[in-house]
Structure 1
Amino acid sequence: MGDTNDSIKPERIIFVTVGTTCFDALVRVVDTPEVRQELFNKGYTHLLIQMGRGSYIPTKSSGEGGCLAADYFTFSSSIADNLRSASLVISHAGSGSIFETLKLGKALIVVVNEDLMDNHQSELAEELAERKHLFYARPQTLLDTIKGMTLETLIPYHPGDAKPVAKLINRFLGFPDD
């Protein structure tokens, strides 16, 4: 009975998803020692990256020696289980990924892919960040976003009222705000 689990930290998983796209800029920045260390410093224990069609292969790590355990995969028939088990989700700006994560009540950082042309997804992410439902970053600002994030400031997203989203879509399409 001499064994105690006092030194074992509870699992806190960061799930990174790029959807079906190629978003190597996001995968690369999450793979940097600085971002990994900051996530570890914030109490996270595991990093799981869904890298999609990307060609950049992130570094795997067992988590030994006081660092973040890390693994990756390309695609899955469903990421629902990954989202459910995550303490923090770092996602591309796809509306499906954003709303699925918010519906589960998960802390979310949306990282906009600036390489996409006519990136209307950034407008959605910016609007939801202004409403304090998520944090918003670009690949080059992700580290600072992680350093400065305070999860307690996030406001839960309650789906149901489509008016704000419809208003945003109308504004994007150039219709008046009535």
Structure 2
Amino acid sequence: MGDADDYIKPVRTVFVTVGTTCFDALVKAVDTPEFKRELFARGYTDLLIQMGRGSYIPTKSTGENGSLVVDFFTFSSSIADNLRSASLVISHAGSGSIFETLRLRKPLIVVVNEDLMDNHQSELAEELAERKNLFCARPQTLYQTIATMNLESLLPYHPGDAAPVAKLINRFLGFPDD
């Protein structure tokens, strides 16, 4: 009793979702050894990747030798359970994924897919990042975001006030600000 080997580390999962898209750049960014080491050093135990239509296959790991447990899947009828059990969510910039994660009050890093044309999703992510509701990154800056993030700096999202979002949508559609 009290033996160090008896201590079970609590599971802290990082859940990555690309939705129904192909976003290999995000999957590749979370599949690097240095990214996984940084997550593990920050106390995360598991990395679960929902890779969507992507063709890049991440490396699975059982977590032996003091490393991250890594698993992946393509699609699920619902990622709600994955979001609920996550300690940190890394998501594409789809508004459904963003707002579902914020509603659950989970720390969130939104990674913008720069390969998409007419990327209005980045405006939403950047606006919410300015409000400190989430962190916003690009695939090439994701490691730096993880390495320097302070989850205590994030503020809860309060969905009650739609005016700022409506203003953002109006600006996107080309209507003048009131």
User: TM-score if structure 1 supplies the norm length?
Assistant: 0.97
Q: Does 1:76 align with 2:76?
A: yes
Secondary structure at the aligned position of 2:16 is classed as: strand
Q: Secondary structure at the match of 1:67?
A: coil
| 2:116 equivalent in structure 1 | 116
TM-score by length of 2: 0.97
* Per-residue CA distance 1:128-176 (angstroms, 9 max, x = gap): 0000000000000000000110000000001121101001001111111
Q: Which amino acid aligns with 1:128?
A: L
The CA distance in 2 between the partners of 1:2 and 1:138, in whole Å, is 44
1:54-108 deviation per Cα after TM superposition (whole angstroms, max 9, x unaligned): 0000000011111100000000000000000000000000000000000000000
Shift of 1:7: 3.0
Q: Matched residue of 1:98: which SS?
A: helix
Change (3 A) 1:85 1:168: same
SS at 2:128 equivalent: helix
- Please state whether the residue corresponding to 2:62 is helix, strand or coil: coil
SS at match of 1:48: strand
Q: Cα distance, 1:47 vs. partner?
A: 0.3
Q: How many residues are matched?
A: 178
SS of the residue 2:7 aligns to: coil
5+ residue gaps, structure 2, are: none
Q: Matched residues in 1 for 2:4 and 2:122: separation?
A: 47
Identity of aligned residues (%): 81
Q: Distance in 2 between matches of 1:8 and 1:30?
A: 25
